[in-house]
Structure 1
Amino acid sequence: SKLAIIDSNGKFLAKQVIYPHKPANVQKRSEAINTFKQLVSDYKVELVAIGNGTASRESEEFVAENLPAGVKYTIVNEAGASVYSASEQAREEFPDLHVEERSAISIGRRIQDPLAELIKID
C-alpha cells in the first residue's frame, strides 16, 4: 500500500510503502503496523483517506485496527485518480514520485477540495 501524508492545504509532506496484507509475511505486516502508527503520530494525522480500489476493504480493516483514538478515516472514490497521477501535470508537480504515490496524494486532496482534484482529470 502506498501512503502519502499531506498537510491541511494539500501540500505533500511524506510518502511510504507498507505491506499490511497477505501474502506479505508476518514480519512485513508487523513493520506495516509500526510504520503506519509512527507516521500518524509524527505528522499528527487527523484523517486517513482510503481509496476505494483494489484491497480497499482490507485497507479499511487495517486502518480501523491501528488508528489511535480521535483519528478518523473515510473511503474516497478514486475514479480518475490514476488518470491524473499519470498526467503531465502530475509529473510536473511531483517529478520524483511514482504514479501510485501521486495517486495517493490526489486521493487525500479529494477530501480537502474535491472539485479542484476532479478538474485535473479533464
Structure 2
Amino acid sequence: MFHRSSLLYLKYVGSFHVEDTDQKSRIRKVRDELETLHVFNKSKKVMICISVRGIKICSPNCETVFMAHALRRVSYVTCDANHKQVAFLAREPAGEANSQYCHVFVTITSSQVCVAYLNIL
C-alpha cells in the first residue's frame, strides 16, 4: 500500500480507450462515453488508494491489485455528482501520450463524488 494515502471505496464500472491528439477532443470523448454509462449493469467493489506516488485500484481487502497508475500518467479527472460518477484518464506506462484509458467509478452518494474527485485531483 502507498505511504500516507487516501482510501476510497467505490464501484468500478469499466474502462474505455481514448485516442485523440488534443486535450479538448479527449475531454469531449470522455464526456460522451460517460453519458452512455449513466445506466450500467455490472460493477465491481474496489478500494482506491491515492498518494503522491499514484493511484492504485485494489480489491476491497487489498489482496488483489487491479491497476496502478503513477500520477505523472494521469492527465484528466472529472466527476458527475448527478450520476455519482468519477473518472480519470491515464496513459499506459509504455503508451503514447495520445493513447489513454478512461477508468470510470460510481459512488454510493452524490457527496462521495466530490470527495473522490478532490482526492484524485
TM normalised by structure 1 equals 0.29
Greater strand fraction, Structure 1 or Structure 2:
2
Which has more helix, going by share of residues? 1
Which structure is richer in relative contact order (CA contacts within 8 A, separation 6 or more)? 2
The TM-score with structure 2 as length reference comes to: 0.29
